């Protein structure tokens, strides 16, 4: 994780660096820092905590320098404090880093033996001293190439030099890095989002490349130090979507935006006139795909699990799903007729990218379901299915989850239809049903006061459980993840039928248990499991769909009824109350909803 910014300009840069750091805070918020160059000196300021702290602790308006680098940190090596905050500097070099240097212990020993004195506990500081050491014997570009070769692990770097008042070096291996072009100034940033308020002209560095950024020129080099030419992309700019508007938090806004997320997805993928799904330029013949593996992390993994249930219900394809951090190190049996689908909001998650890279190296068929279409995962996949949900800023994924499962459901329908496993009439009926989803989500969003009232019970309990079967099981996992990451309350998602094999022992008087039991094929079985927990004292919040049939069970603590739709689409609606439950629990506790502790939005370290 961590966010990097660098600006080389003909005017003071500190204000723009601060603005960009605020945008980058979704990548890490343990500490923040800036280094500028002026009058042959490196001016370094850093603080523990948020960018606001940095602003409060220093007079940044008077921080001189037309060139500078900045950083927001998500701690890996060394506790989050101002000493371990980036930039890290020697007498002549200052560095910001995103990633992990795996051989830092060995390099540190070598550098200490050569007289270098370390101030921090970070792996990053070895880079500073290594460059300083290499500059003793080599010119700048050679010293950089040499240093990069000595580093093992992943990095995106921004480097300034005391005696080079006009240039920033950027380097990328594993962690993303972009260059932006402005009037009389150029930029370096972890992503286009950090640069968007200054430019929409962007070049992404490829793995192994480095660049020299001056105010009037940018040069790119490959791993061998040979100059390369790169394309400039023009991004569409929509600053408005980065604004909270009247909402208290981005998460609240993003939850409420979900009808639009789904509407946009439907508009992009459904051809209304022909009642057809537009997945065009699919690069393989349908007969070439005999099985599917879906890979992701966290919430994106839950989307993969959701897709597995749909694929098994609606097609005869063999389906596997995997957590990216496991997949990348397992002895995988790669199969030519398997489609590998990578699901990611950011498109930069290190483990998911590594899993994709592994598949690419084995010449597999790769497809990305991503939100950020300029991301590394999108760029390096054979085929991309964008989520189209706009920027998601809140660290906890909400609208991106719904966007991911929408695109995956659409893919499932298309595959099933092309494989003659879904009849034309059924296919068109499912497309018609899908079009009603935005309105159903809007109505489900109206459950608000009831969820607010319920949320305190979850905060006061020592733990909680989320149970579901079949299509509702991935949503139970997602609901538990949302609650634990936002309100720091232990929450466990479980298949309802598994409770009796162990977890039932956790049930005691008053423990809140969310039971997802829509009236689908699993309804009766789930209700039986619900009765088992009620019998042992659980306080059950039942989430079901509207029906004329009453739920036959006593002692249910609270019930929320979502709208009615076909079984496939119920998971979309069941998700909404769970997102709100997590939001209101965290709100009542006064926690930082958009930036929960210890987390970051884009997980670019493994």
Q: Which residues sit at the interface with ligand F6R, rule CB under 6 A? A: 297-300, 344-346, 349, 352, 396-397, 481, 485, 603
Residue 80, SS3 per DSSP: coil
CB atoms within 10 A of CB 19: 16
Of 2, 297, 304, 389, the active-site residue reads 2
Are 456 and 512 contacting, i.e. CB atoms less than 8 angstroms apart? no
Report which DSSP code applies to 62. Answer: G
d(CA 251, CA 248): 9
Cβ 482 to ligand F6R shortest distance, Å: 6
Using the minimum distance from each CB to ligand F6R, give the nearer residue, 257 or 485: 485
Using the minimum distance from each CB to ligand F6R, give the nearer residue, 380 or 563: 380
Cβ-in-10-Å burial (0-12, 13-18, 19+) of 240 comes to: exposed
> 């960018």: which residue's tokens?
51
Using the minimum distance from each CB to ligand F6R, give the nearer residue, 169 or 393: 393
Using the minimum distance from each CB to ligand F6R, give the nearer residue, 44 or 191: 191
Residue 339, SS3 per DSSP: strand
Residue 149, SS3 per DSSP: helix
Written as six digits, the tokens of 474 are 């991935």
Q: What is the CA radius of gyration of the chain?
A: 26
Using the minimum distance from each CB to ligand F6R, give the nearer residue, 50 or 601: 601
> 């343990």: which residue's tokens?
30
Written as six digits, the tokens of 265 are 């997805």
HSE (side-chain half, CA atoms, 13 Å) at 489? 32
Burial 71-101 (b: 16+ CB within 10 A, else e): bbbbbbbbebbbebbbbbbbeebbbbbbbbb
Q: Is the peptide bond before 18 cis (omega within 30 degrees of 0)?
A: no
Are 233 and 201 contacting, i.e. CB atoms less than 8 angstroms apart? yes
To the query of whether residue 367 is one of the catalytic residues in this protein, the response is no
Parallel, antiparallel, or unpaired for β 67-73 and 3-9? antiparallel
Cβ 424 to ligand F6R shortest distance, Å: 34
Element (H, E) at 520: none
Cβ 118 to ligand F6R shortest distance, Å: 32
> 């839950």: which residue's tokens?
302
Cβ 391 to ligand F6R shortest distance, Å: 12
Are 518 and 545 contacting, i.e. CB atoms less than 8 angstroms apart? yes
Cβ 535 to ligand F6R shortest distance, Å: 33
Cβ 88 to ligand F6R shortest distance, Å: 27
d(CA 5, CA 605): 18
d(CA 341, CA 292): 7
d(CA 295, CA 272): 31
Are 475 and 299 contacting, i.e. CB atoms less than 8 angstroms apart? no
HSE (side-chain half, CA atoms, 13 Å) at 295? 29
Written as six digits, the tokens of 9 are 């300009």
Are 25 and 599 contacting, i.e. CB atoms less than 8 angstroms apart? no
Cβ 110 to ligand F6R shortest distance, Å: 35
Using the minimum distance from each CB to ligand F6R, give the nearer residue, 16 or 464: 464
Cβ 303 to ligand F6R shortest distance, Å: 8
Cβ 347 to ligand F6R shortest distance, Å: 7
Cβ 554 to ligand F6R shortest distance, Å: 35
Cβ 381 to ligand F6R shortest distance, Å: 13
Using the minimum distance from each CB to ligand F6R, give the nearer residue, 185 or 485: 485
Report which DSSP code applies to 462. Answer: S
d(CA 125, CA 117): 10
Burial 274-306 (b: 16+ CB within 10 A, else e): eeebebeebeeeeeebeebbbbbbbbbbbbbbb
* C-alpha dihedral, 265 to 270 to 271 to 272, nearest 10°: -90
Using the minimum distance from each CB to ligand F6R, give the nearer residue, 349 or 487: 349
Using the minimum distance from each CB to ligand F6R, give the nearer residue, 332 or 397: 397
Report which DSSP code applies to 201. Answer: E
Using the minimum distance from each CB to ligand F6R, give the nearer residue, 171 or 396: 396
Are 24 and 72 contacting, i.e. CB atoms less than 8 angstroms apart? yes
Q: Which residue is nearest to ligand F6R (CB)?
A: 298
Strand order in the sheet with 210-214: 88-89, 93-101, 153-161, 164-173, 210-214, 217-221, 227-228
To the query of whether residue 211 is one of the catalytic residues in this protein, the response is no
Cβ 349 to ligand F6R shortest distance, Å: 3
Of 215, 365, 414, 601, the active-site residue reads 601
| Active site members | 2, 601
């Amino acid at each position: 994780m961590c966010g990097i910014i660098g600006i080389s300009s003909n005017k003071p840069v500190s204000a723009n660096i601060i603005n960009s750091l605020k945008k980058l805070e979704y990548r890490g918020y343990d500490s923040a820092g800036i280094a500028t160059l002026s009058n042959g000196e490196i001016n370094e300021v850093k603080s523990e905590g948020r960018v606001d702290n940095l602003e409060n602790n220093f007079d940044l308006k008077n921080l001189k320098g037309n060139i500078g680098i900045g950083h927001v940190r998500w701690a890996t090596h060394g506790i989050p404090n101002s000493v371990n905050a980036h930039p890290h500097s020697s007498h002549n070099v200052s560095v910001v880093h995103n990633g992990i240097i795996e051989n830092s212990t060995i390099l540190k020993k070598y550098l200490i033996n050569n007289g270098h004195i370390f101030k921090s506990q970070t792996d990053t500081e070895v880079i500073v001293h290594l460059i300083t050491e290499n500059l003793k014997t080599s010119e700048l570009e050679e010293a950089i190439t040499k240093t990069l070769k000595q580093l093992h692990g992943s990095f995106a770097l921004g480097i300034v030099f005391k005696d080079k008042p006009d240039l920033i070096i950027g380097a990328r291996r594993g962690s993303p890095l972009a260059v932006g072009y402005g009037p009389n100034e150029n930029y370096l940033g972890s992503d286009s989002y950090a640069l968007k308020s200054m430019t929409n002209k962007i070049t992404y560095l490829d793995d192994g490349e480095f660049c020299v950024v001056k105010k009037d020129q940018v040069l790119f080099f490959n791993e061998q130090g040979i100059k390369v030419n790169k394309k400039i992309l023009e991004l569409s700019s929509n600053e408005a979507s980065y604004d909270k508007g009247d909402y208290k938090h981005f998460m609240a806004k993003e939850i409420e935006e979900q009808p639009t997320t789904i509407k946009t997805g439907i508009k992009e993928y459904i051809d209304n006139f022909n009642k057809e799904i537009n997945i065009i330029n699919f690069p393989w013949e349908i007969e070439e795909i005999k099985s599917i593996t879906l890979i992701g992390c966290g919430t994106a993994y839950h989307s993969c699990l959701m897709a597995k249930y749909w694929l098994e219900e609606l097609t005869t394809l063999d389906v596997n799903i995997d957590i990216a951090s496991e997949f990348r190190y397992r002895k995988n049996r790669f199969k030519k007729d398997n489609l590998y689908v990578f699901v990611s909001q950011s498109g930069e998650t290190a483990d998911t990218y590594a899993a994709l890279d592994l598949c690419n190296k084995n010449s597999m068929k790769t497809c990305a379901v991503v939100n950020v279409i300029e991301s590394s995962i999108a760029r390096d996949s054979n085929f991309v299915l964008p989520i189209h949900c706009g920027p998601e800023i809140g660290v906890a994924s909400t609208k991106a989850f719904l966007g991911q499962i929408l695109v995956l459901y659409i893919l499932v329908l298309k595959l099933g239809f092309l494989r003659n496993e879904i009849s034309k009439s059924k296919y068109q009926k499912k497309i018609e049903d899908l079009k009603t989803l935005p309105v159903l989500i809007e109505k489900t969003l109206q459950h608000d006061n009831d969820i607010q009232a319920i949320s305190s019970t979850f905060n006061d309990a020592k733990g909680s459980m989320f149970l579901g079967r079949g299509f509702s099981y991935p949503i139970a996992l997602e609901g538990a993840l949302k609650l634990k990451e936002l309100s720091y309350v232990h929450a466990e998602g479980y298949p309802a039928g598994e409770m009796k094999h162990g977890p039932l022992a956790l049930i005691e008087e008053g423990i809140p248990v969310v039971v997802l039991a829509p009236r689908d094929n699993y309804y009766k079985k789930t209700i039986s499991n619900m009765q088992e927990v009620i019998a042992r004292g659980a306080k059950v919040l039942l989430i079901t769909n509207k029906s004329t049939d009453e739920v036959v069970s006593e002692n249910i603590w609270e019930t929320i009824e979502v709208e009615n739709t076909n079984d496939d689409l119920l998971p979309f609606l069941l998700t909404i109350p769970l997102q709100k439950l997590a939001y209101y629990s965290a709100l009542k506790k006064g926690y930082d909803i958009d930036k929960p502790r210890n987390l970051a939005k884009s997980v670019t370290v493994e």
